Amino acid sequence: MKRTTVLDLRKKKADNDKIVMITAYDATMARLVDMAGADMVLVGDSLGMVVQGRDDTLGVTLDHMVYHCACVARGSERAHLVGDMPFMSFQVSAEDALRAAGRLVQEGHVQSVKLEGGSTVVPAVERIVGAGIPVVGHIGLTPQSVHAMGGFKVQGRSEDDGERLIQDALAVQEAGAFCLVLEGIPRELAAEITHRLDIPTVGIGAGPDCDGQVLVCNDVLGMDLRFSPKFVKRYASVEQVAVEAFEQYASEVRSGEFPSTDHSFHRKRPAKLARLY
Ligand code: KIV
């Protein structure tokens, strides 16, 4: 089966055809997301929070990302795979950035990489793109800058901030990115950036006017019902289904109902005895 390419994704913007991106962190989820027909699967560093249980994404390492990218690549066949560049894998130098991106492609088997930031990451984007690795940019609420932002806060609400983000978007496109994630910005600003760029935008908490949307798989599935930010729409309540299933299992183990004879293996009966039954 052919994987979705950067050309397919560019054509989607030209055809006004929305791009669907969902995160996945392991082979099982990647298979489900692929079966559902997502165009892009993002192995996001959000795994630091939803898989590793951290408060932010800053502790995620390149080795973690390579490991999860490879798991996702084994579980999916069709979607375009994007591997997230973790904190400190691209900020120090463009050479570091290229080496890190190379590992995500060579060992993690993704087709492109994503990195957070605007004008400041232009040299890194240029270096990676120059080596033939497609890049997805990411501006707005960039979780790796959580401390600089003073928390996970919507960005670009003021005129000046909005203008800065427009310039960042143009700079990242000019540097060669083929797609741009817009996170946590006002709908009107996302619409303007989407209109001004030739490359597709994929929004999360950025309103409906982007060229596509991305959500974290755990949020789509409702795997943690304590977490319900404004920008998430939950399409299932897997937390409830899963807890009920585990409770049922626990109760049947305790009562002896499971495993039944149907779930048990049996010794072969000697031929003579078998006839007697
Ligand atoms: O890490 C991630 O999952 C992301 C998306 C939320 C865009 O960056």
Domain map (residue ranges) of the chain: 6-231
- Expressed in angstroms and rounded, the spacing between residue 47 Cα and the centre of ligand 1 is 9
SS3 state at 73:
helix
Q: What is the pLDDT of residue 274?
A: 59
81 Cβ inside 6 Å of ligand 1 = no
* Residue 271, pLDDT above cutoff 90: no
Ligand 1 atom 3, closest CA: 44
First to last CA, the chain: 51
Ligand 1 atom 5, closest CA: 44
Q: What is the pLDDT of residues 201-259, one digit of tens each?
A: 999 999 999 999 999 999 999 999 998 899 999 999 999 999 999 999 999 999 999 99
Based on DSSP, count helices (H) and strands (E) in the chain, helices before strands: 12, 8
CA atoms within 13 A on the CB side of 145: 17
Predicted confidence band of residue 270 (pLDDT cuts 50, 70, 90): confident
Q: Please state the rounded mean pLDDT for residues 21-37.
A: 98
Which pTM does this prediction carry? 0.95
Which of these, 109, 118, 116, lies nearest to 85 by C-alpha position? 116
Ligand 1 atom 1, closest CA: 44
Q: What is the pLDDT of residues 97-138, one digit of tens each?
A: 999 999 999 999 999 999 999 999 999 999 999 999 999 999
Distance CA 79, CA 212 (A): 14
DSSP string, 231-273: T---S--HHHHHHHHHHHHHHHHHHT-SS-GGGS--PPPPHHH
Q: What is the pLDDT of residues 174-207, one digit of tens each?
A: 999 999 999 999 999 999 999 999 999 999 999 9
Instruction: Supply the mean pLDDT for the chain.
Output: 96
* Residue 277, pLDDT above cutoff 80: no
SS3 state at 136:
strand
Neighbours of 91 (CB within 10 A): 16
Write the class of the CATH domain 6-231.
alpha beta
Whether residue 162 contacts residue 141, with contact meaning beta carbons closer than 8 Å, is answered with: no
